[in-house]
Amino acid sequence: MNDLVSAAGERVSRGRGARTALRRAAPALLAYAAVRALGVLVLALWSAADGKNWHTLLTARWDALWYSRIAEHGYGFTVHAADGGVHSDLAFFPLLPWLEKGLSALSPLSAADAGMVVAWASSLCAAWALYMTGERLYGPRAGVVLAALWAALPVGIVQSMAYSESLFTALAAWSVYGVLSGRWVAAGAGAALAGLTRPVGAAVVAAVWVSAAVTLWRERSGTGRQYGTGERSGTGERSGTRKRRGPPGGAPWPARRHRHRRMLAGVLLAPLGCLGYVTWVGVRRGSVTGYLDVQEGWDNGFDGGVAFGRFVADLITGSAVAAGLGLLAGVALVLWLYGLCLRRRQPVPLLVYCGLVLLLALTAKGYFGSKPRLMLPAYPLLLPVAAGLARWGPARSAPLIGALAAGSAVYGAFWLNGSGPP
């Protein structure tokens, strides 16, 4: 009976904690929603002037068509392209189509509309996780700025499309936050779901695994940051971790054993989504390398960035010199920001996750125009900027964020009414 009462009390406490956290995050969610609403409004006006439908652009073009078709008919559709490519729908991971199918079955929404609803709801969940991360590391104001900056990225319109980026970022960000706050089972579950959403879910799995290994090593040595202590550092930057000194292990054995069990559960859960889908594709195609073969059919494997380097070189040596130089400048900015994250000594899970997202995006050999949106989930890059703007105060930072939001809205409308994201 005492155990039941204790469990019930713990559930009530968790519920109250979630409501409190949501109230704290309300300014960030409002800022995020305002930026994205501006983006959709400008898209609607631009599309109307261009004789197009904004709703169609968000729900029924490019990858959104593949997702909705899987939701309606299941897997098994293949397109044989004129250039010899074999485009199979097995390249698309199943969580978004599952959610589209479930929501459309429970409501009057089509699968495409359900995909947009999932994306919009997921983007708010992602903004919440970003706020919680920024708040934990640098304080509440940084959390609000981080959510707003992510919304105002040049390719931020993708967050409002029936694509999987918003869903993936939400799951990844909450999983990484789970590691930062010592919620290992939640972190593992989030990583498993992220692994059912996009191939880059492997980056979330790696963040959980490496963080667990580093935590155990630091616990054994009795020094350094340890995730899951439930305390913040006493420094100016809140790290979600605690400096430990003293004998190896630090905490009493029963407490450490309980934490180790939950850590192990999270570590074991983390790869199940990605591993499960890749295995299923391999069995379906009768090959251990089945999923890699599917990606090759899309000319979208990994070559260490060789093809991307050739693409940039061709731009610079051809007639599109400005585009090539701009692309190089963008890549340099991304790498500089990641270097800044390293110099600021961001927590291990953020560095591992962000580093692998960037690595996978920059070393993919196909669909070069997709690279900006492939890097959209790399939100830790914005943390140093958010921390700096938070120190400015609202009077100075708000106009800058507003200008970025306006630029993002105009660029997103121009982008989708033009070539758009492949």
Measured distance CA(118)–CA(100) in Å, rounded:
7
pLDDT at residue 325 greater than cutoff 50: yes
- pTM (2 decimals)? 0.90
Listed by start position, the domains of the chain span 2-417
Contacts 24+ apart (CB under 8 A), 51-55: 52/417
Write down the pLDDT at residue 372. 87
| Residue located via tokens 């709703």 | 55
Write down the pLDDT at residue 229. 44
pLDDT at residue 249 greater than cutoff 70: no
Q: Where are the alpha helices (DSSP H) in 344-377?
A: 348-363, 371-374
**pLDDT tens-digit series, residues 382-393:** 999 999 999 998
Least confident of 74-78, 135-139, 297-301: 297-301
pLDDT at residue 160 greater than cutoff 50: yes
Measured distance CA(16)–CA(96) in Å, rounded:
30
Write down the pLDDT at residue 103. 97
Write down the pLDDT at residue 253. 55
Provide the mean pLDDT of the chain: 87
Helix axes 140-151, 2-49, angle to 10 degrees: 40
Measured distance CA(380)–CA(353) in Å, rounded:
9
Identify the H or E element spanning 163.
none
Cβ contacts of 80 within 8 Å, gap of 6 or more: 86, 87
Q: Dump the DSSP string for 382-400.
A: GHHHHHHHHHH-HHHHHHH
Measured distance CA(261)–CA(399) in Å, rounded:
48
Write down the pLDDT at residue 234. 33
pLDDT band of 422, cuts 50, 70, 90: low
**Amino acid identity for residue 369 in this structure:** G
Length of the chain: 422
Distances (CA, A) of 414 to 8, 54, 114, 155, 193: 53, 12, 25, 11, 33
- For 120-222, where are the E strands, in sequence order? none
Write down the pLDDT at residue 349. 97
**pLDDT tens-digit series, residues 126-142:** 999 999 999 999 999 99
Burial category of 249 from C-beta neighbours within 10 Å (exposed 0-12, middle 13-18, buried 19 and up): middle
